Structure 1
Amino acid sequence: MTIAEEIRLYLRARVALIVVVTTEEQRAVDILDEVRRDRDATADLVTWDLADHFSSAAKRALPDTGDPGTALDKIRELATKHPERRDLYVLKDFHEFWGRDPRIRRKLKNLAQQLVYTGASLVVLSPARTVPVELRNDAVLVDLPLPTAEQLRRELDALVDGTAGVRSTLTGPGRARLAQAALGLTVAQAKRAFAKAIVREGALDDRGIDTVLLEKQAVVRESGALEFHPAEETSADVGGLDALKRWLNLRERAFGEEAERFGLPAPKGLALVGIPGTGKSLTAKMIGGLWRLPLLRLDVGALFGPLVGESEERVRLALTLAETIAPCVLWVDEIEKALASGGYDGGTSQRVLGTVLTWMQEKTAPVFVVATANDVTALPPETLRRGRFDEVFFLDLPTERERREIITVHLRKRRRDPEAFDVHHLAQISDGFVGAELEQAVVDAMYHAFAEDRDVRTADVTDALLHTVPLSRSQREVVEHLRAWMRQGRAQPASVAADPQAPVGGVPGLELDTRDHWDGDLN
């Protein structure tokens, strides 16, 4: 159901007060004008705002008043004088008054109740989804969704074909790709991005997609809680984690029409839990690059605002934006830090968590959620259950083979030939190290060699490893607790151990119980 159809349904049901939640006032007014004409060609669309006061689509003479209370009185007079007219009265700026002026709230409530017995209806445009408690029984909220790719395509066609001097080399499919790239923008933002692409390149061509994407990244950053994150990592940039990589490879084609025709639903998401430094965040970036999907990082700390209801509104806007950009990967990093249960914020964190969990359970848009967590005990138990995530993977201390791969990756990343190093020796002496510690050892070794004006050698990396106290020793109790959680069968290991009988990580007291060991068979 489109928003126009939803508004028509409410008008037929004689709902006298409709609150349209949007920042796109002109687009909302255009939709309401279309609804008004389809409903009754003789009806009028009357708008009011603080600056221009009343205006009429039918060019009727209307009273001139900038006082919101007086404006409501005039609407009541007009509607009751001609109760047969099915006019639409659209109020802008009223969210500025109804929160602080009880007189305005009472007048709105009285007017809504009186308009039920006339043909007229009242629409309030508001950028926030907050309605005073006194009005909630009389009002319905309608969210104006962001424009679809088809709507953006129409705006693009109107700009290119209806503006003199605009040159375009884009074919029909090319224009469709450009409109698709603008998903997540409002109509005004998309038109601005299209115009910028024309001015920047001198014409509209395939390069316009890059310009639009850059503009979209800036707009998404301004939203506060979401940001585009570079997704350039591939499987080759992540050492080990063979079971997790196999799981991801099986679902690489699951977001297209081919999978839908086959009867497959789009994957819901993945939870990555485990020891800090084992590559959870890097894996999230890898998924975006592997599946060639936009990677959005949800900054859960930025979701919380000082005003009542502001946090919930930010969550809703962020999730709506992610659905509009879909298919995409939504990365929620260290989810336990911001969404852990607690009683010191008036219940805000619980409400935010509830909103996110409900959305994850019920979403139909192809948004793949990747949530990472170090301390799973800080999360409510319902967070990781099936239905919200397709799988929960545990990232353990890397095995010797995985440590060889990780060291090789970081040497290559710094333009060093791994064949020139004794990687086998380095993997053996780094028993109990996580990937982040192995990377830092390579970096420390390069600093040492750079200070002596020579190239880095195996001995430098060896020295760096021997002078590092790994987390598996300094935080032995924490690591043991996390691995005990995994041995209870609550998650799948992300790695396939080379020797199931050998201690994983080689840390005394942390041997893996082979009775619970998973053999990597995903079938």
Structure 2
Amino acid sequence: MTIENDIGLYLRARVPLLVLVTVEEQRALTVLDAARAARDSSADLVSWDIADGFRSAAGRSMPQAPTPEKALEKIGEMVRAAPKKRDLYVLKDFHEFWSKSPVVRRKVRNLAHELVYTGSSLVVTTPVRDVPRELSDDAVVLDLPLPDAEALRAELDRMITSTGGGIRSELTVHGMARLAQAALGLTSTQARRAFAKAIVRDQVLDDRDIGAVLAEKKAVIAASRALEFTAPEETPDDIGGLEALKRWLTLRERAFGDEAAAYGLPAPKGLALIGIPGTGKSLTAKMIGGMWQLPLLRLDVGAVFGSLVGESEERIRQALTLAETVAPCVLWVDELEKSFAVGGGGDSGTSQRVLGTLLTWMQEKTKPVFVVATANDVAALPPEMLRRGRFDEVFFLDLPTETERREILHVHLRKRRRDPGRFDTAQLARLSDGCVGAELEQAVVDAMYRAFAEDRDITTGDLAEAIGRLVPLSRSQRESIENLRAWLRDGRAQSASFAEAERAAEAQVRLELA
């Protein structure tokens, strides 16, 4: 059901007070006018703001109302003069007044009670979801969603038509759809600005403009503070090992589309990556976006928290709504335990309310947003976080096996334009027992620094020496690492590696036999 249909239903049900949450004021007025006309074409849409007072869409003469109190009084008079009329009264930015004045709050409440017995309704447009407690029982709060791909395509077509043929398009029908799709997550105004920038650059629409619109979207999403938009380039070849996890992802690569839906498959919900620091959890999140060719949004949970009452909850809702608008996409929530640790309740319950909002959304979301959550310390996570239904699977990233360590060395040598065949990576893999991927990468970098200082290329000996100087986490944090690995052996997660999965299964069998 569209937002226009929702508003129309509430108007027909004679709901006296609607609160429409959006920054897109002009689009909100267009939507409201359409809902008004659908219910009664003879009705009027009357708007009020503190700068210009009343304005009638039908061109009627309007009374003067320089203050919000006077505006509410005049609306009451107009309604009482024609109680059967189905006019729509829109108050712009009224949250600024009812948040500061108990008189305004009381007058809004009185007017809402009076409107119940008439055909008219009151609508408040506001950019924040902040309804006074006194009005919460009378008001219906609706969020105006960001424009979808169809609306953005119509906006693009209107802009092209308005130029009177002054621009040339080299895009196919599919290319035009991709250009509109690239603007998902932007408001109508932001999308128009991005399209206009692409059009005026060279008066030609082509594939380059898709990247330009994506760059504009990246900047807009970054301004939201809670989300960071990235275009991931990592592939499975950039990660050594983790074959079980890669296979799981490959099986779900085609699941975001009409073909999978027609087959009866739901879109995958998400994945939790738990494990030892440095084993590639963050890199895996980036790899999923690149592998599935989906936008990657990183949720910065720390940036969600604000100092004002209700600000944090509003930010998390806005971030999740934006992710749904960009969908299909990958939403990466990094280091969960740092923001939602068990017992971390020194913020008057704000973190728990934000967590509750996130968990409810994960459970009930219907848009194809694939959530990738990473954590190092599983013991610090609330138990409800990893419950089935929120994630399709929980994977544990263990210390890499000897074969995986060899693959990781190959990856980092290739990344630095070195041929792995020139090195005895089998010997290096044996020497690096207990090292994680991040430590192996640092060993390669350290060896290259040494060789560069001596004006020569690196050798197996340089790498072996660098590995020998390492003090891996598996040694310096032995107890913590062992506790994490015991969690896997208890059968609480799947191993991301085939070899480790087999060993975990064998350990479980031995435990059951004992």
Provide the TM-score with structure 2 as the length reference.
0.96
Instruction: Note closer, same or farther for the CA distance 1:86–1:249 as it changes in structure 2 (3 Å cut).
Output: same
Q: Distance in 2 between matches of 1:49 and 1:167?
A: 41
Match in the other structure for 1:261: 262
Q: Distance in 2 between matches of 1:446 and 1:262?
A: 51
Match in the other structure for 2:307: 306
- Taking the TM superposition and a 5 Å limit, the aligned residue runs for 1:283-302 are 283-302=284-303
Deviation sequence 1:190-225 (CA, Å, 0-9, x none): 111111100123222222211111111111111111
Q: Does 1:6 align with 2:6?
A: yes
Instruction: Note closer, same or farther for the CA distance 1:17–1:75 as it changes in structure 2 (3 Å cut).
Output: same
Q: Distance in 2 between matches of 1:500 and 1:85?
A: 73
Match in the other structure for 2:419: 417
Deviation sequence 1:478-507 (CA, Å, 0-9, x none): 001101111111101111228967xxxxxx
Q: Distance in 2 between matches of 1:176 and 1:93?
A: 34
Q: Does 1:189 align with 2:190?
A: yes
Instruction: Note closer, same or farther for the CA distance 1:302–1:498 as it changes in structure 2 (3 Å cut).
Output: closer
Q: Does 1:227 align with 2:224?
A: no
Q: Percent identity?
A: 69
CA contact (8 A) 1:500 1:517 kept: no
Instruction: Note closer, same or farther for the CA distance 1:374–1:101 as it changes in structure 2 (3 Å cut).
Output: same
Deviation sequence 1:5-63 (CA, Å, 0-9, x none): 11111111111110001110000001111111222222111101111111111111112
Q: Does 1:209 align with 2:210?
A: yes
Deviation sequence 1:454-497 (CA, Å, 0-9, x none): 11111111111111110001000100110111111110111122
Q: Distance in 1 between matches of 2:363 and 2:454?
A: 56
Q: Distance in 2 between matches of 1:92 and 1:500?
A: 63
Q: Secondary structure at the match of 2:331?
A: strand
Runs of at least 4 residues off by over 3 Å = 498-501
Q: Does 1:440 align with 2:432?
A: no
CA contact (8 A) 2:14 2:120 kept: no
Deviation sequence 1:333-384 (CA, Å, 0-9, x none): 1111112242201111111111111111111111111100000111110111
Match in the other structure for 2:243: 242
Match in the other structure for 2:162: 162
Match in the other structure for 2:506: 514
- Taking the TM superposition and a 5 Å limit, the aligned residue runs for 1:364-443 are 364-443=366-445
State the number of aligned residues: 508
CA contact (8 A) 2:489 2:507 kept: no
Q: Secondary structure at the match of 1:387?
A: coil
Offset, 1:421: 1.2
Q: Distance in 1 between matches of 2:167 and 2:65?
A: 42
Match in the other structure for 1:505: none
CA contact (8 A) 1:201 1:208 kept: no
CA contact (8 A) 1:112 1:122 kept: yes
Q: Secondary structure at the match of 2:491?
A: helix
Q: Secondary structure at the match of 1:207?
A: helix
Deviation sequence 1:127-164 (CA, Å, 0-9, x none): 11120000001100011111111111111111111223
CA contact (8 A) 2:167 2:199 kept: yes
Instruction: Note closer, same or farther for the CA distance 1:432–1:513 as it changes in structure 2 (3 Å cut).
Output: farther
Q: Distance in 2 between matches of 1:201 and 1:407?
A: 46
RMSD value, Cα: 1.5
- Taking the TM superposition and a 5 Å limit, the aligned residue runs for 1:264-279 are 264-279=265-280
Match in the other structure for 2:141: 141
Offset, 1:517: 7.3
Provide the TM-score with structure 1 as the length reference.
0.95
List gaps (5 residues or longer) in structure 1.
502-511, 519-523
Offset, 1:308: 0.9
List gaps (5 residues or longer) in structure 2.
none
Q: Distance in 2 between matches of 1:35 and 1:257?
A: 31
CA contact (8 A) 1:331 1:370 kept: yes
